[in-house]
Amino acid sequence: MALSACSTESGGSGQTNAGAEQQQSGWTEATAKQLRDAIGKRAEHGLDRLPLDKGIDSLDQAALTKAALTYGEALAHGATDPTKLFEVYTLPRPDPDLKPGLAQALKDGKVGDWLESLAPRDDGYRKLSQTYLSLRGKQGQPGQATPVIADSGEPLKPGSTDPRIPAIAQQLVVFDYLDRAQAQGQSYSPAMVAAVKRMQADYGINPDGLIGSDAIEILNLSDADRARAIAVNLERLRWLEREPPATRIDVNIATARLRYWRDGKVVDERKVIVGEPDTETPQLGSPIFQLVANPTWTVPRSIQEKEIARKGAGYLRENNMVWKDGWIVQQPGPRNSLGLVKFDMKNEHAIYLHDTPAKQVFNEVQRQRSHGCVRVFDALGFAEMLARDNGVLDEWNKARATGEESFVKLPKEIPVRLLYQTAVLDADGTAIVRADPYGWNDKVAKALGFDLGTMRRARSGGVDIGP
């Protein structure tokens, strides 16, 4: 079913642990020890809350095989199934045939090496793994819930000095409210005050610039909070194919940022606007197959009924909208809700990238503001980049010049992945935990055996009528 107004519908089916009950012959004391050692180190993958080590103390062939395949599946494509956790999840996933792999590993006596080969091996995964291990407590449990920033009971006022200021500034940098260059000293500077006010507004707090209990609650992430978020994001990385297309577009819904990869290198990064919490942008894989210059917009029924139905003919004229075959259609032009370019994608959910006339929203930190589609900063510049890279720049310029809706087919489709990553690496390669705008971490964390998190979420900022 198509998604109304770029919102989501249920879909997807789960995978099963086929063959996990079947016996795999050939276990020895040596290979059984390799399995026990590997499972004993499962904290490297944030899987230490799962009881994966049951029944492997003996040489019971069936029990060892079941444990090896279960742990192998967890490493190869996740301990959880995203198609069961989320209404929509269509990102390509790895699907190795584990039974032959285990058989060969047993034959070669290298079960440990085989298991190690199944998890992601890129630097990002390795960095998150190292950070997770560093946050765990001495007894093998996630770190103590000690707050980074203590609450003294008295709010910090602009201009004051305090030993907590560096920690506060660092959190403001992590949350994208403050530039790293401005995070200096122990004085509550004007730049920090402005950052705190923006954060307060996003979270529904009076934006007075005072750092009281509410602001500290938002800024604080305990070691336990960080560990939980990183474990969840290690799992999300295991869901993904190990060798994504070298040329692709990745959109991180959680941070509202886009990266354009060309031949294995990031050549462009920019802000985007994604769905608000009530109309989330789904996690899906879908290619761009054509550029649309001067697009029209057929208003989805849900938006038509909820937001336009009672506005009258004057509103339609003002917004260059007309009735066509029972639908409201917005004509091409700079005020069109799709802006001046649409990046057409192949999926059944009516999700796509596009321009927008509402440029001011890109200045916000919490950019979950749409009905589910993805609005791209400087979309015309991005379209020109894609057209040039794909050898259709002349066709694109001609299409734009017509002023009418025109289509430029790409000679080769560009894969797009709409991801949701709340633990990312900063420019220095340090793992940082960002906000969880949709609260999607909780579903995964619970399935991995964690308690629910305590992170406070930003409120919905309201949307315009665009998709």
Active site amino acids: 354, 373
Helix 379-389 and helix 393-402, axial crossing angle in degrees, nearest 10: 140
Residue listed under structure tokens 């997770």 = 132
Cα angle at 394 between 391 and 399, to 5 degrees?
Answer: 120
Give the containing element (helix H, strand E) for 327. Answer: strand 327-330
Q: Which one, of 417, 406, 287, 345, lies nearest residue 6 by Cα?
A: 345
Residue 405 near residue 293 (C-beta atoms within 8 A): yes
| Phi and psi torsions of 148, nearest 5° | -70, -40
Residue 444 near residue 435 (C-beta atoms within 8 A): no
Residue 233 near residue 422 (C-beta atoms within 8 A): yes
Q: Count CB neighbours of 190 within 10 A.
A: 12
Q: Are strands 341-345 and 288-293 parallel, antiparallel or unpaired?
A: antiparallel
- At 116, list the tokens: 């190690």
What radius of gyration, in Å, describes the C-alpha atoms of the chain? 25
DSSP string, 183-213: --SSB--HHHHHHHHHHHHHTTS-----B-H
| Phi and psi torsions of 285, nearest 5° | -110, 125
Give the SS3 label for residue 373. coil
Give the containing element (helix H, strand E) for 408. Answer: strand 406-414
Alpha helices in 136-287 (DSSP H): 165-174, 190-202, 213-219, 223-239
DSSP string, 359-371: GGGGG-S--EEES
Residue 250 near residue 341 (C-beta atoms within 8 A): no
Measured CA distances, 59 to 25, 35, 70, 152, 432 (Å): 11, 11, 17, 57, 42
